[in-house]
Structure 1
Amino acid sequence: MKIILKYPFVAFLLIVFAIFGTLQCTQNHQPLQDDLSEVKKDLFRNNADFLNRTSELMQMVSANPDQAKLQKKFEELRTTYKKMEWAVEYFLPQTARFINGPALPEIEMQEHTEIEPEGLQVLEEMLYPYNPENRDEVVRMLKNLTNKSNTIKVNFQAITISRDQVFDALRQETFRISSLGIAGFDTPVSGTFLREIPYALNAVKTTLQQIATEKSKDKALAGIIMEIEASITYLKKNTDKNTFDYINFIPEHLNKITSLVIDFQKQEDIPAIEVTSALNKNVRTFYSKNAFNPNAFVPGKQFEISPEKVKLGKELFNDNILSDNNSRSCATCHVAEKAFTDGREKSMSLTDSPLQRNTPSLNYSAFQHGQFWDMRKDDLEGQSSAVITNKEEMHGDLSKIIAKINADPKYRTAFATIYKGKNAEIWQLQNVLASYIRSLASFNSDFDKYMRGNKHALTESQKKGFNLYMGKAQCAICHFLPLFNGTVPPNYTKTEQEVLGIAENSSNKSADKDPGRGKFHETIAFLQHSFKTPTLRNIGKTGPYMHNGGYKTLQEVMEFYNKGGGKGFGLRTENQTLSDAPLNLSEKEMSEIIDFLNALSDH
């Protein structure tokens, strides 16, 4: 694990964020009738249990126990967190990040610094396997958890939580279980997540019972209790992540629970929390049509998507007017039939020479914080103008382009109708292009159809492939359900990057030298050679693959991952975030995963 200097101002900022979040929780909501309600009593009980088990594990480590006992005690500690995860993740997200976040540094971009990772996932790496030489570091991490437990206690003593917030937090937890939980995101090393999910589900059940009235008792609440208990029964009988039947468990259990929760809300007359979120508030499952709201990713309200903006953006996307010499359009390099890629290894310049990177798909790029492979632009508005003005790509001048658009009566009228102004402005051009790109997410693949109830939508090979994707191959701990990209559910406020140790090509002989995000953050070692985790939707149409286009087929991609990335091939990648442990997938298993990936293509 890296030893990284801590900065006092970072700690100060985290405290400010925590206080701000606490203040938000006390505003504009009707509090629970009793501030010491059963909901809070359970939270305090679970947190006290978490603190006690942390102390017990600390004492055990100091006594030099055997590894098996240590791991068992650690698993018990993790389950105590799962009992209160729904509340900590919702009301204290910064605290949650340092209790159960990934064992990777947090990046303070403005200060170009790394914040040391800590918490349960860091401890997992130290305990599976356990090296007694790391005892002091394990104790230090456990002391940090003690501090976080005290933070939880102090905050929940200070804040008033309301019934609608509690419901919203529980609903969010059901979606967390249906994405990060079922993928094993929390336990990438030990793989014990299937044994943990029952504790999180039980917490949802118990807390819903505590806030319920007679309105839903014999209706939705009864259905939720029955479905959660059935899920727990199944989970307790099936704890092996490599043989678990994800393809049936998700639609037959988890999707039913998230749907029944909406019935509960309606029957109990619980108002939705009025905030813009990526996952629409009334959505029943991750796979419902129109489940996701692209407006959660726009830079401001005036940039929100509309049919009129999409229509105009599509026209301009296909118009050569955006390039300097009217020789190419956006569609030149982003071909609709190829999921808005170009099928080439590298993008081509205006002079037909290869550029540095592969053309990324624009499908589903609306649901990412960070555009381009290196995430150098925050949103699609910035992405569109960067391409237009790049001298090697379109070499356009935005001022001259706007002048040409305003000289065209058709375009000038369309902009005036949408934006209620006399002439088009640069930000409006960026916005209509971005709006069109935001519309390129149809969610109508065979996989989506299966998850919506069509049991004939997938072949047996594709079903097996999905189970491998979720379990043995561990794909879903980076490409999260259901967007299959690196934007982290269920809040979708962050898009992750990874360091895979990519080679120059599929021979895997020489490491690729592209610094990725590291080009813009030269002092942050963690970001060197890191790239955005893109969506796998429509991946069957977007080859060749990786940021450099060096892998021509999905078979080559699977072989790279199966070996353990660049490190697995002996390439020097000091900060590789992909596990270098071989997946040990057979040729048949890799073929089944590829079959499943092809089921992510939209029709």
Structure 2
Amino acid sequence: MKLILKYPLLAFLFIVFLFFGILQCKKNEIPPVDSLTDVKNEILKNNNDFLQQTNHLIDLVSHNATEKTLQEKFGNLRKTYKKMEWAVEYFLPHSARFINGAALPEIEMSEHTEIEPEGLQALEELLYPYKPSNKDEVIRLLKKLLNKSNIIKTNFLAISIGKDQVFDALRQEVFRISSLGIAGFDTPISGAFLQEMPYAMESVKKVLSQISTEKSKHNSYTTLSTQIDAAINVLKQNSDKITFNYAVFIPSYLNKISETLLQFRKEERIPEVEVTTVLRKNAATFYSKNAFDANAFTAGKEYTMTPQKTELGKELFYDPILSNNSTRSCSTCHVAEKAFTDGKEKSMSLQNVALVRNTPSLNYSAFQHGQFWDMRKDDLEGQSSDVITNKEEMHGDLNVIIAKINNNKKYNSDFKRIFGSQKAQVWQLQNVLATYIRSLATFSSDFDEYMRGNNNAMSERQKKGFNLFMGKAQCAICHFLPLFNGTVPPDYKKTEQEVLGVAENFSNEKLDRDPGRGKFHETVAFLQNSFKTPTLRNINKTAPYMHNGGYKTLKQVMEFYNKGGGVGFGFKIENQTLSDTPLHLTDTEMDDVIEFLKALDDKK
């Protein structure tokens, strides 16, 4: 203190030095947007390799190389893409879907048109096996990849990236590996996904090293490095999708890596990217309690879930006030004990006449883009009003119902307390009903407990069934972990539909002609007879099965898939999306898969 008073200039310089020192420390918490040159250079290097390998493949195809050579070089090309997948998927999602998306048409709903499939998965279909007659088509698709590679280069030379974005992208890649990667979504024909995963994981490790500081390198990064190396070692020891032990690998390796990533973020003081996502930013794994946020599927903040909305929605769900003659409530067709189905082959009308489709479960319907089997409504708010006003289901009039609610002292008071308006409005009624339905996803099954570390939560037979589910039976290619529905992880921005070739019933003698989603898109051939991929959670409680309720048991469903869907039973279906290749599951193996599915029953 005496020194400062005696030498004011020294004091001033000290304060200036301290100020800029603090400022520099703050800057070091997140590097300036253009400082991550090593990361960008790594992306550009991998993309350059991708470009050269694509050109080399074009040359090999042009000069009539053997099938074995083409498949080997194509496999190397896919592995190179895996090295930059984390960046392309995050920063250039539109390009990514045309580089490594499913080999199915992309749908432009507003124009009722479809865009042809392209990219690596479309090429896989042409190379496994390779027919010389497809030579020109293979070259055409490879040239499209050249264009995508140039887009990657142009964008990453121009855009700025921050440490927070890079971390978020790496975390998303780990969850992609833990869902699409481990299921073989990328390589449904070659089945080479376990051979590719080490390249994606090694890339994650390398970029984490580039963005880490000395603090995390002595703590969480060291742990992450060890965990990733251990996972890669397991994959290199056994890359056979049939015999691989998914039931051990996911909880013991992949979940551990995603858990440690949160510790890395904490040590590096990396802020969360401020975007509402389905998978919460603080979720350590896919299986953490409250990992998923159903609010990400709502239209805005005014639709956000609250306990008060849930309670009121539940009351109205069980109240026949919503039907025209006050004889039917939502719970009439959606019974809690049956996972909110009704146990009947077809839904029944007010006149007790069978309708055209089976009553779908409401459990986990919150995590889907598209409601009803044909996905005709975007969200649960639209779903509730559709059912209430349908003359065959509840035949209600929303304006009349709102008048009844406003004349009910309790309901009127509840709506006023929750929404602040003097009278209930139609959108508020829709919202409280939808909120209750969103609350029905509890993630409380034995499978969830097993993935959270309780090794005894599933029986040995159920673990065996899970391994079959992931591998030989190929179920997870369409029913993605951990929601087990068709909403595509890890960003959950799209819900898929499938054409299975379902028959009228389990005898599989006559094809069901329900147009499904195609009814609303008559000019789109790809969507004809397509239906939403529902969740398998609680499926043990929801018999009978399929959109028409024609399959009475899970064994009948398994037999249908085992044969190769409708095509496998001899039906002519040009747009079947389910693979028509038989699975060759034995009776015992099918029973083991069914036993695993029982582990998806919620306990509350």
Provide the TM-score with structure 1 as the length reference: 0.95
Corresponding position of 1:271: 271
Distance in 2 between the 1:31 and 1:571 partners?
59
Say if 1:174 and 1:258, in contact at 8 Å, map to a contact too: yes
Aligned to 1:584: 584
Look up the equivalent residue of 2:418 and give its one-letter code: I
Structure 2 letter corresponding to 1:429 = L
1:46·1:83 contact (CA, 8 Å) conserved in 2? yes
Gaps of at least 5 residues in structure 1 are 1-28
Distance in 2 between residues matched to 1:489 and 1:468, nearest whole Å: 21
**8 Å contact kept, 1:511–1:572:** no
Residues 105/446 of structure 1: CA separation in 2 closer, same or farther (3 Å cut):
same
Structure 1 residue matching 2:40: 3-state secondary structure: helix
Partner of 2:550: 550
- Counterpart CA distance in 1 for 2:86 and 2:591 is 38
Aligned to 1:144: 144
Whichever residue aligns with residue 47 of structure 2, its letter is N
Distance in 1 between residues matched to 2:158 and 2:419, nearest whole Å: 45
d(CA) in 2 for partners of 1:572, 1:345:
25
SS of the residue corresponding to residue 107 of structure 1 reads: strand
Which amino acid is the alignment partner of residue 183 of structure 1? A
Match of residue 565 from structure 2: 565
Asked whether the equivalents of residues 33 and 161 of structure 2 are also in contact (C-alpha less than 8 Å), the reply is no
Give the Cα–Cα distance (whole angstroms) in 1 for the partners of residues 302 and 512 of structure 2. Answer: 41
Is the contact between residue 36 and residue 163 of structure 2 (CA under 8 Å) also seen in structure 1? no
Letter of the aligned partner of 1:473 in structure 2?
A
Shift of 1:35: 4.5
Residue type of the alignment partner of 2:277: S
Q: Which amino acid aligns with 1:412?
A: N
1:174-573 alignment runs, 5 A limit? 174-573=174-573
Counterpart AA for 1:234: V
Give the corresponding residue for 2:153: 153
Query: What is the Cα deviation at residue 585 of structure 1?
Result: 0.2
SS at match of 2:582: coil
CA drift at 1:34:
4.5
1:391–1:33 distance in 2 versus 1, CA, 3 Å:
closer
| Alpha-carbon separation, structure 1, partners of 2:524 and 2:92 | 27
Q: Which amino acid aligns with 2:529?
A: H
Q: Report the residue type matching 1:270 in the other structure.
A: I
TM-superposition CA deviations, 1:457-477 (whole Å, max 9, x none) = 111110010000000010001
**What is the percent sequence identity of the aligned residues?**
69
CA distance in structure 2 between the partners assigned to 1:474 and 1:223 by the alignment: 32
SS in 1 for 2:41: helix
Moved more, 560-569 or 297-306: 297-306
1:39 match: 39
CA distance in 2, matches of 1:177, 1:190: 17
Q: What's the offset of the Cα at 1:214? A: 1.5
Deviation by residue 1:484-511 (Cα, 9 ceiling, x = unmatched):
0000000000000000000000000110
Deviation at 1:301, TM superposition (A): 1.3
CA distance in 1, matches of 2:304, 2:550: 36
Distance in 2 (alpha carbons) for counterparts of 1:76 and 1:60: 14
Asked if the contact 1:31–1:160 (Cα under 8 Å) also holds between the matched residues in 2, the reply is no
The one-letter code matched in structure 1 to 2:162 is S
Deviations 1:233-257 (A, max 9, x none): 1100111000000000000000000
Q: 1:64 aligned to 2:46?
A: no
1-structure distance, mates of 2:118, 2:32: 33
SS at match of 2:357: coil
Deviation at 1:408, TM superposition (A): 0.3
The 3-state SS of whatever aligns with 2:576 is coil
Aligned-partner residue type, residue 340 of structure 1: F
Does the aligned pair in 1 maintain the 2:347–2:358 contact within 8 Å? Answer: yes
Whole-angstrom CA distance in 1 between matches of 2:542 and 2:122: 35
CA contact (8 A) 1:369 1:487 kept: yes
Q: What CA distance in whole angstroms lies between the structure 2 residues aligned with 1:244 and 1:228? A: 17
Deviations 1:30-60 (A, max 9, x none): 6646446110110110000000000111111
Change (3 A) 1:33 1:353: closer
Please report how far the alpha carbon of residue 274 of structure 1 lies from its aligned counterpart in structure 2 after TM superposition.
0.5
Q: Counterparts of 2:34 and 2:443 in 1: how far apart (Å)?
A: 44
CA–CA distance in structure 1, aligned partners of residues 543 and 299 of structure 2: 31
1:27-176 equivalences under 5 Å are 32=32, 34-35=34-35, 37-176=37-176
Whole-Å Cα distance in 2 between the matches of residues 277 and 340 of structure 1?
26
Counterpart CA distance in 2 for 1:243 and 1:221 is 31
Task: State the partner residue of 1:6.
Answer: none
- 8 Å contact from structure 2 (residues 339, 363) kept in 1: yes
Q: Match of 1:8?
A: none
TM, length-normalised to structure 2: 0.95
Report the residue type matching 2:398 in the other structure. Answer: L
Question: For the residues of structure 2 that align with 1:293 and 1:129, how far apart are their CA atoms?
Answer: 42
Q: 1:524 to 1:173 in 2, by over 3 A?
A: same
RMSD: 0.9
